[in-house]
Amino acid sequence: MRKTIVSALVMVAVFLCALSQAQAEILEQRRHRDWTSFILTSPDGAVARMTTMDNGTMLAIDIVPGGKYFIKLLEYVPAAERGAYDMLNGLTLPGKMRVDRRRMYDVRFMFQVLDEALVVSLAGEFNDTLLQEARKGSVIRMKVGMDEPIFAGFSLMGFSAALDRCMSLARMLERLDPPDSDYFDEPSPAPRDFHNGRNADGAFFL
């Protein structure tokens, strides 16, 4: 019970501290076994986010309008320990990621310290293939660093339900706030009739 309460508190702290924005809000939160899905809003916009926890580290996947996604690891850093983490700020480490024993992906782990949170952004060529593998898998595992690696594993129980809901939430957000490019996908209005080089008189009353 105590571990559950502590994990919940850490989760809330990570959400607020990692964003560094007091105006951030969590909306429409829903639990899917080991995962949670919700809308995360901030002055920079809104995303659909799904998260799970393992030993105080959060795995977060942000789904943005258009279907693209971004993966982050978030960890709460007590203020008293902030100095020990500053050396990680701006660090990039190579690593690996895979679902169970499926394909192994090369990953770059990019570290950033924000207030009381350590944010590690993942970059690599995993695209949509990783999500499809995760739908059918049990655990997604990560190897951070190569010389003295750190290993992490996150349960995929509830992953499919959380992903489906995030995709739906992302589509809803896109309908509410379509990207600028959408305004150029439709044809221009038909030109009005002209008479003797000027607008027909009736056009002024349409």
- Write out pLDDT tens, residues 66-124: 778 999 999 988 877 777 778 888 899 999 999 999 999 999 999 998 877 889 999 99
d(CA 102, CA 64): 26
DSSP single-letter state for residue 91: -
Indicate the SS3 state at residue 186. coil
Query: Count of CB atoms within 10 A of residue 105's CB?
Result: 19
Residue 203 pLDDT > 80, yes or no? no
Helices 127-135/159-176 angle, 10° precision: 130
pLDDT tens digits, one per residue of 131-177: 999 999 999 999 999 888 999 999 999 999 999 999 999 999 988 86
| C-alpha pair distances (Å), 184 with each of 66, 68, 69, 124 | 16, 21, 24, 31
Does the pLDDT of residue 194 top 50, yes or no?
Answer: no
Residue 70, amino acid = F
**Residue 113 token pair:** 């310290």
Q: Please tell me the distance from the alpha carbon of residue 25 to that of residue 205, in angstroms, as a whole number.
A: 47
pLDDT of residue 191 exceeding 80, the answer is no
Rounded distance between C-alpha atoms, residue 7 and residue 55, angstroms: 8
- Between CA 50 and CA 163 the distance in angstroms is 7
pLDDT tens across 11-53, in order? 554 554 454 444 678 898 999 999 999 999 888 788 999 999 9
Report pLDDT for 188: 65
The mean pLDDT of 169-196, rounded to a whole number, is 67
pLDDT reading at 205 higher than 50: no
pTM: 0.76
What is the predicted pLDDT for the residue at 144? 94
Compute the average pLDDT of residues 123-133.
Answer: 92
